[in-house]
Amino acid sequence: MDFGPCFLYRQGAEPNEAVLRLTNEDSHDIGFNALFENKPYLEIDSSPTNLAPGESEEIRITFMPRELKEYREDVQFEINGLYRVTVELRGSGHDCDVALNNAANFNFNFGSVKVGTVVDRRVKVKNNSP
């Protein structure tokens, strides 16, 4: 699962979330457990679960990059206590890079403006973020 480039997480910002769906395609019940300890930048919302045949469980994964770097984690799921399945999670942290489309528009002249009056000007910006 690849989160791709994501803005650095700041307190109060919306984190990046994805859902991993596990489905029991066997003819017998299975149990699974995520063998992962949450980290400041990655949380897996999963507890040991049993699934009947054909039943599914959605696992919420939250990615909150805190540094300008590439992230990669292998999350193992233990199935019936017998074998493990590995899911690779990837993503990268990036700063927000927004600039004026035309640098000549850096200063605006609003002229004389009376107190309490609203004056509007349009400015074009460019998102240079990855």
> Which among 118, 117, 124, 126 has a CA at the least distance from the CA of 99?
126
- Partners of residue 125 on adjacent β-strands: 100
Band of residue 125 on the pLDDT scale cut at 50, 70, 90: confident
Q: What is the pLDDT of residue 77?
A: 93
The reported pLDDT for the residue numbered 123 is: 80
| 110: pLDDT strictly greater than 80 | no
pLDDT surpassing 90 at residue 105:
no
Share of the chain above pLDDT 70, in %: 99
Q: What average pLDDT does this structure show over 58-72?
A: 95
User: What is the mean pLDDT of the segment spanning 7-20?
Assistant: 91
Choice among 22-31, 35-44, 46-55, 120-129 with the minimum mean pLDDT? 120-129
Instruction: Look at residue 108 and tell me whether its pLDDT is greater than 80.
Output: no
Quote the mean pLDDT of the chain: 90
Label the pairing between strands 42-45 and 125-127: unpaired
pLDDT (average), residues 57-85: 94
